[in-house]
Chain A
């Protein structure tokens, strides 16, 4: 399990968030369900609460570098 801070690059129209961690070579992505304390909000609702490109998020990765969980400060 590894941790990192990443910046949101893009939120796709299919509700997948793409992030860039400066310690990693490539962009990775996660579904909204990976967000800590996620309660089924739509991407639109989360955008209103601060989930937007440029926002920094805390990421926990599993042993094969997939996003396990994400937390960010809700506005």
Chain B
């Protein structure tokens, strides 16, 4: 499956011919980078996948866990996931918890890939957004991440058969935020539907979602 990726190092080649004049202030870092994702290509409820150019310890860790768990490099490279809302706004689970934040934070520093369930209605897309935002205030699911680390040792291809801790705390991680909101919006599950876990890599490979052709625009 060919991935449609926005790579900051190729922004000048990938940019559309139109330029963009922001309607309000944008971060200096984004202005210095000179390009922004064209928000007109995105729709509410889209999955945004991120792969950092300069990997932090956490990013490298997620990458390694996904590789070890059996995903190929092209899918394992995606270490973060968010729900697109509108304009530059996304909803994401970070180490500070679930919050509404801005895509500008990722311009120039991350490869970006947009995926969408093509059969979602407009109502379902907004339902996905609302269900993600409702998780606001949830902490980051560190214990779930540790669980995924242990599961990767056996391989994510192993079918889930063991009884695991069921106590659901008010904590969630990035790809789980999107996958749960997707089930609540349209009733279809995403992720590794053999092993039962969901990671950015499993959302990368999920055939329910299709890649969206998004473009860079040059900032005026």
Residues in chain A within 8 A of chain B (CB atoms): 9-16, 18, 20, 26-31, 43-44, 47, 51-54, 62, 66-67
Contact = CB atoms under 8 A, between A and B. Distances in A.
Contacts of A13: 138, 141, 144, 168-173, 176, 180
Contact of A43 (B138, B168, B171, B173): B168
Interface of B: 135, 138, 141, 144, 160, 163-164, 166-173, 176-177, 179-181, 183-184, 186-189, 193-194, 196-197
Contacts of B135: 14
Q: Which 9 A-B pairs have the closest CB atoms?
A: A14-B180, A66-B187, A26-B193, A29-B189, A52-B166, A29-B183, A13-B172, A9-B196, A16-B180
Contacts of A53: 163-164, 166
Nearest to A67: B187
B159 to A, nearest CB: 8
A9 B193 CA distance: 10
A47 B168 contact: yes
A26 B183 CA distance: 14
Contacts of B160: 9-10, 20
Given A18-B196, A53-B166, A67-B187, 12 more contacts: A12-B180, A13-B168, A13-B169, A14-B184, A15-B180, A20-B160, A26-B193, A27-B196, A30-B187, A53-B164, A66-B187, A66-B188
23 contacts: A10-B160, A13-B141, A13-B144, A13-B169, A13-B172, A13-B176, A13-B180, A14-B180, A14-B184, A15-B180, A20-B160, A20-B196, A27-B193, A27-B196, A28-B188, A29-B183, A29-B189, A30-B187, A31-B184, A52-B166, A53-B164, A66-B187, A67-B187
B163 A28 contact: no
